[in-house]
Structure 1
């Protein structure tokens, strides 16, 4: 019985005109659970190059069509219209729909094949499109900005996309990284200096290999000409002892664009904490996908407070 249910899920799940029983739904649920459990260990095996969420998206893409196909086929088996699958798009709908698929008895005529319809063809195409989007998550990730540390480039409530890094980030790139292990909280800062360069701080000013980093009109220009907006650090009342540090091999030196929140220029002893192994950089932030003034209160307030001029803005 289970062998037939496995075949019905993975193979017959592409046939949205047929019907299937509860056992196939159980196979689908077990498959989704295994994908969820596999995310963290596979991410760790990849040294965190793909986050657990990215791994789960990629694996889920392989069974996306079968999951929705199984829902439609089970509804047919229960004598219900496949349109009930739309319950999956409302809050708590997927849970209610799953319980219904497991509880509904088979209808006397439920096992009969249904004639192909335009609606099912469109649904199948949409499921294939969703699978492709999920598969693409292996090449990009997303991140919600929850603080003002990267102002003015990124502000609280920005939802950004970031391209998965396959090599070392470049100077000026805004990157997502973790400090120690792949499972640690994700940080976001800008790459300022590269491996082998010497970073020095004196009187609140920053220099790379002895060349001062120019700052004018709220823009910082690095020695290679890379320029970006920052919020300058508030001048300190007393002179600070100069400090310098060489960026170790296979590391980059990062700072937040909001230099007051970063604190490194006001406390040069923090220089060493801004040296990040390249192996811990995950992705380069490329674009603001969505941005809202209210991202804590639910979907409707989030939409109503959308900052539309920021939507789609490239990150530089």
Structure 2
């Protein structure tokens, strides 16, 4: 009896092996499907690669983008493969929302900007101030924005621009920008940077936002390739179609100043901008 029992155990194990492999494959496929659905329908991560949304967003910030607020379009899904025309269910961003979208020039590159103009709006920039449907959008001077100089946040002063690199009281290097508080007609307020008098960026033609499109701008007004300029690959965005909007910025979950070295784990904690984690929009 003992010999018979020991002989049957390996055979039983071998017989179960194909089933075990298939169970593992089914489990991995289920995880993959759930991950795709989560990223497509609920939230998706996004990192900030440029300074166009200073002071709210810094290079090296990581945030979650909510997919549900405006409904879903083909670009809500990987590679834009979903056979959706328009948005299902229909939804629309409001002025002041910070949104991630696919650039109209290639329908594949992710950008992040703030919604300023809705369909049918008439917009012009005069002296750096937004004129929305004939009414200037109020903006007031507030305290300078101070950004520590780090690998992800270098200071790039230019002649004629209001950018100053200086030494803080603790001996560290900082970058100082002129900051303004802007308030849209719906009451949404946020901070913007004005680096000085920049041709065209501060004085533009009059734009009429087409139906089904939005006028988006970066908060770092003089270093943002946005709806003030015609759409071009790896550049400005022009007017953004509704279906290109992927989702709304939700919450910051990570931020790094870029000073960490991957092969030196002890440098990782010091590179994290802890105070920025958890910030909403």
Contact kept in structure 2, 1:292 and 1:303, CA below 8 Å: no
> Counterpart of 1:53?
none
CA RMSD between the two structures = 3.4
Change in CA separation of 1:311 and 1:57 when aligned onto 2, cut-off 3 Å: farther
Structure 1 or 2: larger strand share?
2
2:243 matched to which residue of 1? 279
Question: Does the residue aligned with 2:214 lie in a helix, a strand or coil?
Answer: strand
Are residue 156 (structure 1) and residue 59 (structure 2) matched? yes
Q: Which residue is equivalent to 2:93? A: 169
- TM-score, scaled to structure 1: 0.55
Cα distance change on mapping 1:220 and 1:312 into 2, 3 Å:
same
Aligned residues: 201
Tell me whether 1:59 sits opposite 2:33 in the alignment. yes
Q: Residues 303 and 181 from structure 1, CA distance in 2 versus in 1: closer, same or farther, beyond 3 angstroms?
A: farther
Cα distance in 2 for partners of 1:189, 1:201 equals: 17
Q: Among residues 9, 21, 24, which one is paired with 1:25 in the alignment?
A: 21
Q: Is the 8 A contact 1:57 1:135 kept in 2?
A: no
Q: 3-state DSSP class of the match of 1:59?
A: helix
Residues 214 and 180 from structure 1, CA distance in 2 versus in 1: closer, same or farther, beyond 3 angstroms? same
User: What stretches of structure 2 of length at least 5 have no aligned partner?
Assistant: 1-14, 72-90, 143-179
Bigger shift: residues 235-244 or 255-264? 235-244
Unmatched segments (≥5 aa) in structure 1: 1-18, 36-55, 62-133
Of 176, 181, 187 in structure 2, the residue corresponding to residue 225 of structure 1 is 187
Q: TM-score, normalised by structure 2?
A: 0.61
Residue 207, structure 1, aligned to residue 207, structure 2: no
* Structure-to-structure mapping, 1:1-316, within 5 angstroms: 20-21=16-17, 24-25=20-21, 28-29=24-25, 59-60=33-34, 136-137=38-39, 138-164=41-67, 165-166=70-71, 167-180=91-104, 184-216=108-140, 217=142, 218-236=180-198, 242-262=204-224, 269-270=229-230, 273-294=237-258, 297-298=261-262, 300=265, 301-315=267-281
Partner-residue secondary structure (3-state), 2:100: strand
